[in-house]
Amino acid sequence: MMRKKFKIGDIKVKRVEPQQLTDRLLLLNLYITQGLTLFIGLIWILLQKRNPLQVINLPENAHFLYWGLGLAGLMLIVDFLLTYIVPEETMDDGGINDMLFRARPIWHIVLIAAIVAVCEEVLFRGAIQHAFGPYWTSILFALIHVRYLRHWIPTGWVFLSSYGLGYIYIHTGSLWAPIVCHFVIDLFSGLVIRYRRES
């Protein structure tokens, strides 16, 4: 019995529209990309000759919580205002968030929000911002949220949000401030999508 030899060139990458994704494929893509994000972030921190455990160390006081929750509250207010000021299609992400959260159990929305917050903040605030500062980190953060790049308003909002996350990281000295903020934003957004669809 002969086995077919695997060649890296046989792998084909093609663009997939959100409507073509199954729920399983969407979740698989999410967890794989977040796992890679965390892995790259930890390796980058090690290459910077820093201890990843110290970077993600939980602070002794709750100071970081006030900054994380405060920025999250401010961002949610601005996000709410944007939904009334700008046309709905301008803030469209291609339906990805809707597919991800609309029929998801609450525990799974909490889990997704927590995983995304930790993985992305370890890479962007923990590793990239240490190397390039908050401005260039925020540009890169906006670019990876490629589904928003068709419209300048959501792209600008992602940039400003990222800059805010970078600011509270610098101000508190704790990665947990942006993690808390990121978690609250994603959790709230996920719950809004789920219950809006239910009603």
pLDDT in tens, 12-25: 555 555 556 788 89
Whether pLDDT at 30 is above 60: yes
CA atoms within 13 A on the CB side of 84: 5
Higher pLDDT, 84 or 1: 84
Prediction pTM value: 0.85
For 185-196, give the DSSP string: HHHHHHHHHHHH
Higher pLDDT, 90 or 111: 111
Banded pLDDT at 64 (limits 50, 70, 90): very high
Nearest-angstrom CA–CA distance, 165 and 132: 15
pLDDT in tens, 143-169: 887 655 566 777 888 899 999 999 999
Banded pLDDT at 199 (limits 50, 70, 90): low
pLDDT in tens, 93-133: 667 888 889 989 999 999 999 999 999 999 999 999 999 99
Residue entry with tokens 């006030």: 66
Banded pLDDT at 42 (limits 50, 70, 90): very high
